[in-house]
Amino acid sequence: MASLKDKLPAIDPRGFVLPLLLIVVWQAVTSSGWVDTRIIMPPSAVLSAGWKWLNSGLALESIGASLFRDASGFVLGAAAGITIGLLFGTSKLANNVFGPTFHTLKHISIFAWIPLLSAFFGRDDLAKIVFIAFATLYPVALATIEGVRSIAKSQYEVADVYGFTPRQALFRLILPAASPQIITGLHLGLIFAWLATMGAEFLLASTGEGLGMTVIRGRAAFRVDLIIFGMLIIGAFGMLLNELATRAESRLLHWRGHAR
């Protein structure tokens, strides 16, 4: 049993210098009256506006709506990505027929799909979720293909020797053997999904509620305090999702041992 002290990473105080400096300069500049405080708000104003917003009930609604879109898009995109990845990874024919199209389309910068998707699916949740799913699909599919391709021929031979059915081969060999890459792909997909959620909410902000809409409407109303607070919340959720994914990844992959 390692003691708690060993488990906690040592915190280097020098890391706090830069953020503290930023806050101090920010506060000093705003309280000195050198700048227009309607444009550069003091940190205290941001906090108080944020606190008001959090207590208004609007916050919960926005955050909930954004997370719902994020989660729905991610689940759909991940499922599609793994399916496509398995298909391309295991079938040479599928890879040769669909692969070139798939790999060419990936070069279209994802946000460029939003106008087209909005033409087809409108500006509501449907378009946003389709877009988020689409953004998740690529990293997951690419990682899955890589995972399946990395399975050694000798491992397939073991499956052959024991006369695995295709179904057994899929669940006993291919999925477990490719799982490290798939899980890494899912992690990447999660980051992309959050980026896409915010992108969709910024660009299709006219309807519905969400963190992105709150921020972008805050811009229209010139509520700089709310914009900054909203950004911080968006960043915090991004980090939270990333942290959760990192933990899940290391737990799920513990069988690989420490030597990654």
Partner 1 sequence: MSTIQSLDKPLVIEPLASLLPRISIPSLGNLPARFGRIGLGIIFPLLLLYLWQIATERVWLPPQLLPEPAFVWETLVDMVSSGELAGHLAVSLQRVLWSVLIGGSIGLAIGFAMGLSKTAKAYLYPSFSLFSQFPVIAWSPLMIIFFGIDEALKISTITVAVIVPFAVATYKGIENVPVKLREVGQIYQFSFAQTLWRIALPAALPAILGGVRQGAMQAWLALVFVELLASSEGLGYLLVYARNLMQLDVVMVCMATIGLVGLIFDFALGFIERHFSRWAPKGR
Q: Catalog residues that contact partner 1 under the rule CB under 8 A.
A: 12, 14-19, 39, 93, 96-101, 103-105, 107-116, 118-120, 142, 145-146, 149, 153, 194-195, 198-199, 202-203, 215-216, 218-219, 222, 224, 227-228, 230-231, 234-235, 238-239, 242
Minimal distance, residue 197 CB to partner 1, in Å:
9
| 20 vs 28, beta carbon nearer partner 1 | 20
Whichever of 3 and 107 has its CB closer to partner 1, that residue is 107
* Least distance (Å) between residue 231 CB and partner 1: 5
Q: How far is the CB of 234 from partner 1 (least distance, A)?
A: 5
Residue 64 vs 235, nearer CB to partner 1:
235
How far is the C-alpha of 127 from the C-alpha of 55, rounded, in Å? Answer: 30
Neighbouring residues of 47: CB distance < 8 A, sequence distance ≥ 6: 229
Q: How many angstroms separate the CA atoms of 92 and 232, rounded?
A: 46
CB of 43 or CB of 238, closer to partner 1: 238
Q: How far is the CB of 256 from partner 1 (least distance, A)?
A: 19
Q: Which is nearer to partner 1, 72 or 212 (CB)?
A: 212
CA 163 – CA 210 distance, rounded (Å):
52
- The 3-class SS string of 179-219 reads HHHHHHHHHHHHHHHHHHHHHHHHHCCCCCCCHHHHHHHHH
Closest distance to partner 1 from the beta carbon of 1 (Å): 29
Residue 100, Cβ density class (10 Å: 0-12 exposed, 13-18 middle, ≥19 buried): exposed
